[in-house]
Structure 1
Amino acid sequence: MEIESTVRALIAKTCLALDGNDYAGYLNLCHENFNYRITAYSPEIRKDMLWLEKNKRDLKDLFNLLPKQNMDRTPLTRHFSIFTVEPAGQEGHVKVMSALQVFRTEHQGGTTSLVAVGKYLDEIQVSSDGAVLVDREVRLDTRMLGKGYHVPF
């Protein structure tokens, strides 16, 4: 049960960091060999699609470019719920599957709408020092995201 609470705390911190546009804080929660992907399945072409793939350094570069992007700056809120926590191949690593919902609330606190639904497929290294994110695949069910979002989910 201790591993599950450690894992839950790490995933919550990643969501809170992204919700708060704290990209340096997000990267601090990631292993030096961290890999990030956004994928979706297309029934039309009957294939998986890879929408974004970055390592930690490339993700940092992407985050550094965000202030220069012409993008929708409406705040996003991520909500997750852990489904499974299983041992991974390496000692001290676990694979975690979580449900993910991303909401958008207008600046004045008006309408809140659902932006995306999917799953986090994470590999997390757990040690006595805590936990770090080694690999994250954001597997989206939503494929029509509209325009203006450049921030990873």
Structure 2
Amino acid sequence: MNPTLEMRENVRELLARVAMNLDDEQFDAFLANCNADFTYRVVAHSPELGQDMVWLDHDLNDLKSMLKMVPQHVRMAGRLVRHLSTATIRTVGDSCAEATSRMLLVHTDPEGISRLLAVGTCVDTVVIGDPGALKLTQREVRLDTRDWSPGLHVPI
């Protein structure tokens, strides 16, 4: 079923807000956009193995624990910026929408040099409620990039 124009815009705004919260490392604000059943997975397909490699698979509690530990980790200096280009939004049943977006993750170091860190697809499932109450219930990041930098300890 095709979602309404208003619902599509609300989903796009939610995904943009989530990306900006993560860019600014406002992890509590990011988590506030997730419902209690939220799951987060990062996968990359390995042609050599002929299957997907699951790099991360967390529920909301695991993700909260991981984010609390971010200050304890050795990290890449600089800033990450996520660029999402939402290609499709479709309704799934009466209460959910699924958005598929192409994603670029760019790292800018303290000297101001930017480089592309990752490319992939985000598939987000959003619970539909009141327009102001949309929540992420699932995010799966399907990376094309398989050469991953050490020191990256935040969600994509």
Could you tell me how far apart the structure 1 residues matched to 2:75 and 2:123 are? 27
Could you tell me how far apart the structure 2 residues matched to 1:79 and 1:143 are? 18
CA-to-aligned-CA distance 1:26-46 (integer Å, 9 cap, x gap): 000001110000001000000
Structure 1 residue 130 displacement after superposition = 2.5
The DSSP-based 3-state class of the residue aligned with 1:124 is strand
Are residues 1:148 and 2:151 paired? yes
Q: CA RMSD in A?
A: 1.0
Residue 106 of structure 2 is matched in structure 1 by: 103
The DSSP-based 3-state class of the residue aligned with 2:97 is strand
Give unpaired runs (5+ residues) of structure 2: none
Could you tell me how far apart the structure 1 residues matched to 2:6 and 2:48 are? 43
Structure 1 residue 135 displacement after superposition = 0.3
Which one-letter code corresponds to 2:54 in the other structure? L
- Aligned match of 1:37 in 11, 32, 41? 41
CA-to-aligned-CA distance 1:66-88 (integer Å, 9 cap, x gap): 10011213210000011111111
TM-score (norm 2): 0.94
Structure 1 residue 94 displacement after superposition = 0.6
Q: Identity rate of aligned residues, in percent?
A: 34
Residue 67 of structure 1 is matched in structure 2 by: 71
Q: How many residues align?
A: 151
Could you tell me how far apart the structure 2 residues matched to 1:149 and 1:101 are? 15
CA-to-aligned-CA distance 1:59-110 (integer Å, 9 cap, x gap): 0000000100112132100000111111113x220111000000011123x2
Residue 128 of structure 2 is matched in structure 1 by: 126
After the TM superposition, list the runs of 4 or more consecutive aligned residues in structure 1 that deviate by more than 6 angstroms. Answer: none
TM-score (norm 1): 0.95
Structure 1 residue 126 displacement after superposition = 1.6
